[in-house]
């Protein structure tokens, strides 16, 4: 009996350590995920009440996708030199710095948004690789869903607090913007335990660079880029202008701000469910089409009767656009053959996709200014969805003509 007791104690301790390690892994993943869209969801609710002019809203809507597109390749360099865990920690530190800088007047808001966007670019690219490496293959869809849900939930909470904090602080917007510091600090703390498990940097710097030309020569990469680019264009245009569209239709500014928060709740819900469903299937084309249809329903409602049922349109748009954002991560993991290949696909698709998406807030603003109505931008969004339904089909399934290696991990 004594021997049995002494033999089981180390095993119990080992299981406890494994359990604690798993909890820290998931908690850290949730915290870094929750912080990746917080800053970008703050401007929409504040714009109508803080008096931001159209050029300011357009610029602050343009910066995130533009900078994330330009800085996505930085994630490959960071991964090669630091490994995924250290690179995510460095990105978390940069997110915190950017959140602090954004409180320092309008120049700080612009510069800080650039800093936050560059850090988010690294996180966006590394998350699918991190999930593929640290979680079991059958957990890919669940963890990408957790990523999207946490991202949406964190942003929704902060967005809902924008107008109340603005009014409670004497109608001053910097304190409201400063709320983003809290999740940024939690995200940084959450990544610290993972430094103990940090992978060694890649000893072959040329490996990722060698993969890139092969990726660029495939229709898969271009189809992924188109899917992600159009979905992200619609996401950021809606994030920037949804409250303004509703206010122009007669919705009270406080209610419009709440609809922004509700939209982000929908993003969290769609982001949780869509990747789980998509990851359970070999062919993701039906899921891509479903996402397009849901988004089209939301924009159609916003076009025909924006003030009649804003709660419904905000939720539908959130579910559709959130699903589109989250399913992209599953597509990278499914179409990639190795972690390096996943990283290459993710980098290419996000670099091109975010550059496409950067035109969204500007496109909406120009069409609105030219017509004096929000009907033209919303109609343009519906046309883009039709394009996406056709061009994204290749991203949803494997082609027998393109793979360079047999997949063994997914």
pLDDT digits (tens, 9 = 90+) for 117-144: 999 888 888 877 777 777 766 676 777 7
- Domains of the chain and any CATH numbers: 22-198+205-396 (1.20.1250.20)
Poorest-pLDDT segment among 21-25, 54-58, 112-116, 377-381: 21-25
In SS3 terms, the chain reads as CHHHHHHHHHHHHHHHHHHHHHHHHHHHHHHHHHCCCCHHHCHHHHHHHHCCCHHHHHHHHHHHHHHHHHHHHHHHHHHHHHCHHHHHHHHHHHHHHHHHHCCCHHHHHHHHHHHHHHHHHHHHHHHHHHHHHHCCHHHHHHHHHHHHHHHHHHHHHHHHHHHHHHHHCCCCHHHHHHHHHHHHHHHHHHHHHHHHHCCCCCCCCHHHHHHHHHHHCCHHHHHHHHHHHHHHHHHHHHHHHHHHHHHHCCCCHHHHHHHHHHHHHHHHHHHHHHHHHHHCCCCCHHHHHHHHHHHHHHHHHHHHCCCCCHHHHHHHHHHHHHHHHHHHHHHHHHHCCCHHHHHHHHHHHHHHHHHHHCHHHHHHHHHHHHHCCCHHHHHHHHHHHHHHHHHCHHHHCCCCCCCCCCCCCC
21-53 pLDDT, tens digit per residue, is: 666 677 777 777 777 778 887 887 888 788 888
Does 169 have pLDDT greater than 80?
Answer: yes
Does 208 have pLDDT greater than 50?
Answer: no
pLDDT of residue 109: 92
60-96 pLDDT, tens digit per residue, is: 878 888 888 888 888 878 877 887 788 888 888 999 9
271-317 pLDDT, tens digit per residue, is: 888 888 888 888 889 999 999 999 999 999 999 988 888 899 999 99
pLDDT of residue 136: 64
Does 3 have pLDDT greater than 50?
Answer: no
Which range scores top for mean pLDDT: 11-20, 64-73, 87-96, 106-115?
Answer: 106-115
pTM of the complete model: 0.71
- Count the alpha carbons within 13 Å of 104 in the hemisphere toward its beta carbon: 10
């Amino acid at each position: 009996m004594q021997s049995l007791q002494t033999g089981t104690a180390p095993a119990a301790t080992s299981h406890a350590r494994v359990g604690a390690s798993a909890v820290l892994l998931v908690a850290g993943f949730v915290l870094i995920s929750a912080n990746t869209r917080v800053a970008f969801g703050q401007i929409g609710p504040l714009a109508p009440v803080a008096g931001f002019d159209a050029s300011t809203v357009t610029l602050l809507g343009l910066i995130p996708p533009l900078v994330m597109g330009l800085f996505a390749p930085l994630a490959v360099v960071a991964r090669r030199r630091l490994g995924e865990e250290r690179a995510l920690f460095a990105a978390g530190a940069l997110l915190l710095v950017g959140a602090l800088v954004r409180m320092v007047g309008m120049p700080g808001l612009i510069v800080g948004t650039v800093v936050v966007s560059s850090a988010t670019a690294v996180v966006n690219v590394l998350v699918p690789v991190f999930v593929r490496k640290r979680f079991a293959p059958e957990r890919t869809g669940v963890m990408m869903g957790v990523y999207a849900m946490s991202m949406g939930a964190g942003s929704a909470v902060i967005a809902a607090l924008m107008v109340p904090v603005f009014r409670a602080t004497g109608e001053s917007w910097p304190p409201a913007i400063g709320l983003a510091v809290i999740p940024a600090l939690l995200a940084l703390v959450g990544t610290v335990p993972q430094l103990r498990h940090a992978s060694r940097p890649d000893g072959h710097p040329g490996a990722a660079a060698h993969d890139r030309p092969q990726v660029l020569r495939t229709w898969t990469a271009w189809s992924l880029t188109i899917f992600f680019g159009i979905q992200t264009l619609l996401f950021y245009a809606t994030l920037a202008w949804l409250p303004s569209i509703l206010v122009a239709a007669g919705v009270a500014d406080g209610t419009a701000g709440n609809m922004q928060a509700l939209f982000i709740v929908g993003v969290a819900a769609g982001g949780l469910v869509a990747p789980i469903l998509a990851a359970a299937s070999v062919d993701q084309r039906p899921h891509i089409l479903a996402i397009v249809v849901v988004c089209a329903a939301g924009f159609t409602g916003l076009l025909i009767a924006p003030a009649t049922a804003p709660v419904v349109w905000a939720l539908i748009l959130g579910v559709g656009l959130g699903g589109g954002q989250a399913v992209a991560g599953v597509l990278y993991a499914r179409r990639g053959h190795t972690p390096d290949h996943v990283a290459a696909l993710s980098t290419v698709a996000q670099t091109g996709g975010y550059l496409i998406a950067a035109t969204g807030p500007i496109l909406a603003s120009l069409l609105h200014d030219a017509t004096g109505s929000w009907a033209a931008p919303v109609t343009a969004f519906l046309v883009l969805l039709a394009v996406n339904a056709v061009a994204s089909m290749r991203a949803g399934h494997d082609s027998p003509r393109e793979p360079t290696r047999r997949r063994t991990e997914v």
